[in-house]
Amino acid sequence: MLALNIVARVVAYIGAAIIIWGALLGVVGFVRAEFSRLRGRQDAVANETVRVRFGSYLLLGLEFLIAADIMQTVFKPTLTDVAILGGIVVIRTVISYFLNRDIAASRPGT
């Protein structure tokens, strides 16, 4: 059981790291796009590309966090903990759904 708890924490840290990495890349991409815009190179797609990439990282990170929450609930399956997990999974699933839909709508040719 201790090993599975450690794995769940590692998976949660990986999810958080993915989100942080995506946020850092998003900030760098946004700053680059803004400097290009200030230099007179108008690129209407640049910020949209940054947003879609960040959304992809956020979506992947949320999936890891959901998996970690499910693994951690295995250790304390009280009704309260299962209800809290259910709420978290529902909220994250709704967020994931709308992020995924937004990303799909932002791709060229859709």
- So what's the pLDDT on residue 23? 96
Tell me the average pLDDT of the chain.
Answer: 85
Residue pLDDT, tens place only, 57-102: 988 998 899 888 888 887 767 888 788 888 888 887 888 788 888 8
How far apart are the C-alpha atoms of 62 and 1, rounded to whole Å?
A: 24
Tell me the percentage of the chain whose pLDDT exceeds 90.
25
- So what's the pLDDT on residue 25? 96
- So what's the pLDDT on residue 109? 58
Q: Does residue 110 surpass a pLDDT of 60?
A: no
How far apart are the C-alpha atoms of 87 and 62, rounded to whole Å?
A: 14
Residues 63-78 as b/e (b if ≥16 CB within 10 A, e otherwise) read ebbbbbbebbbeeeee
Contact 85, 35 (CB under 8 A): no
